[in-house]
Each structure stands twice: as C-alpha cells, then as structure tokens.
Amino acid sequence: MKFAIAVFSPAHAPSSRRALRFAEAVLAGGHDITRLFFYQDGVHSASANVVTPQDELDVAAQWREFVNQHRLDAVVCIAAALRRGVLNDEEANRYQRPAVNLPIPWDLSGLGQLHEAAQVADRLVCFGGD
C-alpha cells in the first residue's frame, strides 16, 4: 500500500511524534511512503534552528534522520514556511533575509504537491492541525 503523510503540528507536539512512529511502521510493514508533506506549524520540523531541551526527544532531528535514511520525498509547504521564517537559500536571497534554516533533505513546494501525493497514494493520513 502507498501512503502520503501530512504533518500539521510542530516537532514538539505529540501528533508529530505519532506521525513519525506511523511512518516508521508503514515502512517496517513493507508499504511505501509516496510523500511526506509538512504544512502549517509542521514546517518547524524541517527548520535547522529548532533547539530541543536536553530532557526531551528531538523529534525534528528524528524526522531529518528518517527522511535521509529512507531517501523519502519530504516537502515543506512554501507559503507556510515563509510565514514562519523557514527559508532555503533561494527564498532567503529572494526576500533578502540573512539566514537559511531549511537544509537538505527538505524541499520547498506548494500545496499542489500534497494534492498530487493524495492522488498517487492509496491513503492520505494527516496528523495534527486545528
């Protein structure tokens, strides 16, 4: 089965951790993840500037490791990212901002990527949000 997974909450939220555990279980079960899509406050999971207290799980780092390890398509919504100051090199230059905090493996793109993932996947599973 092919899954598309959308994460709407930041890394420190329980739903982001549940999304990660679900994604791990999907792959462990022999299924595929067509795309991970981070939207709304979920874009903070991709920021290189997230600093997690020592007594908490660093879920943002776990997401990064998971995406890298499995070479997954991980998309961060560009509109939500810009609104929250999550910028790759291109957008930092475009808006004349001094800092870049969206490292590899993340890609900035629009909501069309979520729509496409939902069309290609057998299931779209969403975590977090209002």
What residues are annotated to the active site? Answer: 77
Give the CA angle between residues 36, 84, 62 to the nearest 5°.
40
For residues 126 and 6, give the distance between their C-alpha atoms in angstroms, rounded to a whole number: 5
Which amino acid, 126?
Answer: C
Beta strands in the chain, from DSSP E residues, in sequence order? 2-7, 32-38, 74-77, 107-109, 123-127
Instruction: Answer for the pair 31, 1: CB distance below 8 angstroms, yes or no.
Output: yes
Residue 130 one-letter amino acid: D
Residue matched to tokens 């279980």: 25
